[in-house]
Amino acid sequence: MQSLQLPPKSEILFSAVTMEGMVQIVRHHDLIPVPVDLDLRSLAPKLEALEHAITPRTKMIVVAHLFGSRFPLDPILDVARKNNLILVEDCAQAYVGPDDTGDPRADVSLFSFGPVKTATALGGALLRVRDSKVRDQMRSLQAGYPVQTAWSYPVIKVAIIKGLSTRPIYSCFLWLCRAIGCDYDRIANRSTLCYRGPDFVRRIRRQPAAPLLAVLQRQLRRFTPRTVAARTAKGALLRELLGDQIDCPGRGQTQHSRWLFPVLVDDPDRWIDALRRRGFDATRGGSLCVVGPPAERSDLAPVEARDLLSRVFFLPCYPEITDAALHRLAGVFHVGTAPLPSCAHVNRPKLRVAQP
Ligand SMILES: *Cc1c(COP(=O)(O)O)cnc(C)c1O
């Protein structure tokens, strides 16, 4: 944004579900974020919403590939070219390995190596920028930033999270949280989110510390495609076991590496509770947000994106989970095959599939 020097109040289109920080950066530069509603089947921005949102002040479109899925950029590229817009693709959730450098036709492709991402380096990012002039400017701006202190590199915090995630310790942690009545989903999500305070922009204007670069280099060199392949296979199995009755956002997308396994239901909290009681740790997540429309443009309200975030939750599905566990997990959703535990304050969720 600093390199581009767009006129103040220029409009930046966002596929309507993104990371809060992305919108914050745009606002910081006195630019106006404008949402483009999503199609929940493909998780891509809707073309008609995109065309409708464009004004003479629109300069850029930022699209996020969500949950490990990828939608083809072609139709969006056409619109971007026709209207002279810069196209940025956010591949933070869709990364599948060092050969993945994004769509070469996009002006910018963004990859994150933050704490919960595939091939995490506990922080840092890689950017592919097509325009060499912009890229050079970005490099020289970054060269003027202070170097992140090795101290602020969150090794200790991640070690604690990692330690917590071993089974016996995590069980104790859950028990303790229940005993004192706090919401461990919130704690877990908060602890993995970085940089949200008022000095957000100052804190992201850093050059990476040497330990971060070393870890990132190691992650890229030793990347094992097998892990992503295993994750994709487990995801495909779970998708098949759940059947058509359970609605998954992005279900129409063939390219899906299953970074997360999202499902849409009417009452996510009740489902999460029911799953926890059977030993499955599902979560609502917490870091995504819906981009709101600017004042006077309520016609751009991203209805489907809001619906997505109010009804989505995430099932545990990862390379190490056994097929038997996935069968049991899917069974929880199928009344008749595996009844939910009865319990005074948890009503048995209906086996009803959400409307897209
Ligand atoms: C993780 C993520 C980012 C960037 O997060 P950092 O932790 O700051 O690297 C951006 N967009 C999306 C969609 C993400 O999931």
Ligand 1 atom at minimal distance to the Cα of residue 18:
13
Ligand 1 atom at minimal distance to the Cα of residue 114:
7
Ligand 1 atom at minimal distance to the Cα of residue 65:
13
What pLDDT does residue 177 have?
82
What domains does the chain contain, in order, with CATH numbers? 11-143 (3.40.640.10)
- Between 111 and 190, where is the model more confident? 111
What pLDDT does residue 32 have?
98
- Between 219 and 173, where is the model more confident? 219
pTM assigned to the model: 0.87
Q: What percent of the chain has pLDDT over 90?
A: 69
Instruction: Among 24, 66, 89, 90, say which to mutate for ligand 1: greatest number of ligand atoms within 8 Å of CB.
Output: 90
Angle 158-163-165 from CA coordinates, rounded to 5°: 95
Dihedral, CA atoms, 39, 41, 44, 50, nearest 10 degrees? -20
Nearest C-alpha to atom 14 of ligand 1 is from which residue? Answer: 92
Q: Is the pLDDT of residue 236 over 70?
A: yes
What pLDDT does residue 193 have?
53
Q: How confident is the model at residue 344 (pLDDT cuts 50, 70, 90)?
A: very low
Ligand 1 atom at minimal distance to the Cα of residue 64:
13
Q: What share of the chain is helix, strand, coil (3-state, %, to 5)?
A: 40, 15, 45
Q: Is the pLDDT of residue 78 over 80?
A: yes
Q: What percent of the chain has pLDDT over 70?
A: 89
What pLDDT does residue 188 have?
67
What pLDDT does residue 337 have?
45
Integer Cα distance of 50 and 45 in angstroms:
7
Structure-block tokens of residue 240: 């098949």
Q: What confidence tens digit (pLDDT) does each residue in 257-278 have?
A: 999 999 999 999 999 999 988 9
Q: How confident is the model at residue 192 (pLDDT cuts 50, 70, 90)?
A: low
Instruction: Among 19, 116, 122, say which to mutate for ligand 1: greatest number of ligand atoms within 8 Å of CB.
Output: 19
Which residues have CB under 8 Å from 311's CB, separation 6+? 264, 265, 266, 268, 354
Q: Is the pLDDT of residue 293 over 60?
A: yes
Within 6 Å (CB) of ligand 1, which residues are found? 18-19, 21-22, 64, 90, 92-93, 112, 114, 117, 125, 194
Q: Is the pLDDT of residue 351 over 80?
A: no
Query: How many Å lie between the centroid of ligand 1 and the Cα of residue 276?
Result: 27
Q: How confident is the model at residue 340 (pLDDT cuts 50, 70, 90)?
A: very low
What pLDDT does residue 175 have?
80
Q: How confident is the model at residue 176 (pLDDT cuts 50, 70, 90)?
A: confident
Angstrom CA distances, 22 to 1, 86, 178, 276, stand at 11, 16, 34, 32
Backbone phi, then psi, for 68, in 5-degree steps? 105, -5
Ligand 1 atom at minimal distance to the Cα of residue 112:
9
Query: How many Å lie between the centroid of ligand 1 and the Cα of residue 112?
Result: 6
Nearest C-alpha to atom 7 of ligand 1 is from which residue? Answer: 114
